[in-house]
Homo-oligomer: A and B are copies of this chain.
Amino acid sequence: MNFPKSRDEIARDVLALLPRLRERFGDRLSTSGAVREQHGHGEGVPDSAPPDAVVFALNNEDVAFVARACFDAQVPMIPFGTGTSLEGHVVAVHGGVCVDLSRMNAILEVDADALDCRVQAGVTREELNAYVRAQGLFFPIDPGANASLGGMASTRASGTAAVRYGTMSDAVLGLTVVTADGRTVRTGTRARKSAAGLDLTRLFVGSEGILGFITEVQLRLWGLPEMVQAAVCQFPDLESAISVVIGALQIGVPVARIELLDEVQMDACKRYSKLDEFEAMPTLFIEFHGSPAAVREQVATMQSLAEESGGSGFAWAERPEDRTRLWKARHECYHANLALRPGSALIGTDACVPISNFVACVMETREDVRASGLTAPLVGHAGDGNFHLGIVFDPASPDERARADGLAERVSMRAIRYGGTCTGEHGIGLHRIHQLAAEHAEGVALMRALKDALDPRGIMNPGKMLPEVH
């Protein structure tokens, strides 16, 4: 990794900026070791590098002020939301100033008739859902973590409900962006569609902080479904479970969620989340949304598909508390996997492939896991062709780490070979930079040109996504 200045020079430059920052931010500027440490890492693989200072922004002007100061001094800036990235997005590899947006947590506007809202970047998805629920609305994009909506936009997050409601790329109507040099720009409009100019909104969605700050997000909302039902179905083998998913997609059954867990993952979930009523077998967690008649029809179709594939009868989670328990277990997979082996760490993979290649990619991957001798439960947003391994390894063992990295690498390359992507929803961050090059070849040069155009001094979250120039 390179940057025109060394880490020491940057630390010195930040020191010189502090008076200017302190004047505006007062005690919303911190250089304490604990605060810097806390902002130096996300979740996932234990990379960590603290920024030299952290500012807590309250509004666009705060962010623009920091940007102008850092632009003048050519100091790196790292946007920070809730710190739930698994891919090292917030690690301050060159030091610099971390801009914490979590206090930008105002819900600015909700229009129930238009089914849209505008929020500051630090609002979390659960905060938004709690707020709009009384108006009969919800925001369905659900990556598991209670991430900030700005962070979710920055990483093009999706999660369990993407099969029905899409990803952040679909849900974001517009953004407020602060550029590297401190300009504040509104992208998009409140219209559902637009052919007006280059799509700045979708360029910034998924840009991982390397083009500028996302400070406000205009989002689509959905009416709460009249009826919600969740079901669990278990299968003798993984292929049978996947064949049900493919069947559902072929017929176009509008399932709201359809999650695949292999027997290793179900075993971990049973232990960690006390799902005692289920076996450690390949399993689908399914959720249906719609009118009673529509849900009835979807359920009947799915049941007959499951039956044809040798699935168990549906175990129902009709009461909200049962559903919550089920999806909580799904969201706890990460911690359930860590708990498989005390003191372990996890590397997550994020392959996403065309659904016609899903079985082949998953089965080859499972063979690869077996050959590696590692424990790696598999869970997937099967309807999107997206699956994760949680590769358990001992961080104190360089050999295990190397084997885990090797396995993760092979999964990504396999996904690319099958016409898919090395990351369906987690992003590139620090860990997939050379995989991006494998996936996009010449496209990386175009991305670099775009980055240089919007961030000519290279100060926005340097070291992430794109290979640094050597």
A-side residues, CB < 8 A to B, are 111, 113-116, 155-158, 162, 166-167, 169-170, 179, 183-187, 189-200, 202-203, 205-207, 211, 222-223, 225, 246, 249-252, 254, 291, 293-294, 297, 350, 352-357, 384-386, 415-416, 419-428, 432, 435-436, 439-447, 449-454, 465-466
Contacts and interface: CB of A to CB of B under 8 A. Distances in A.
Nearest to A291: B297
A162 B195 CA distance: 13
A439 B196 contact: yes
B421 A191 contact: yes
B115 A447 contact: no
B186 A443 contact: yes
A206 B384 CA distance: 25
A195 B155 contact: yes
B199 A156 contact: yes
Nearest 4 CB-CB pairs, A to B?
A: A453-B453, A113-B356, A202-B202, A114-B354
Q: Max chain B CB contacts within 10 Å: which of A155, A386, A421, A426? A: A421
Q: How many copies does the complex hold?
A: 2
Given A156-B195, A197-B428, A199-B206, A187 B443 contact: yes
A192 B352 contact: yes
Nearest to A381: B193
Given A115-B355, A223-B252, A355-B114, A446 B200 contact: yes
A114 B189 contact: no
A444 B200 CA distance: 10
17 contacts: A115-B249, A162-B193, A169-B202, A185-B443, A185-B446, A186-B442, A189-B439, A191-B353, A192-B354, A194-B420, A195-B350, A196-B421, A196-B436, A197-B206, A199-B202, A199-B205, A293-B297
Given A113-B356, A116-B354, A442 B191 contact: no
A210 B199 CA distance: 13
A423 B195 contact: yes
Contacts of A196: 421-423, 427-428, 432, 435-436, 439-440
A173 to B, nearest CB: 9
A194 B443 contact: no
Nearest to A194: B421
Nearest to A456: B449
Nearest to A192: B384
Contact of A293 (B251, B293, B465): B293
B352 A197 contact: no
Given A297-B293, A352-B191, A443-B186, A203 B202 contact: yes
Contact of A450 (B193, B198, B353): B198
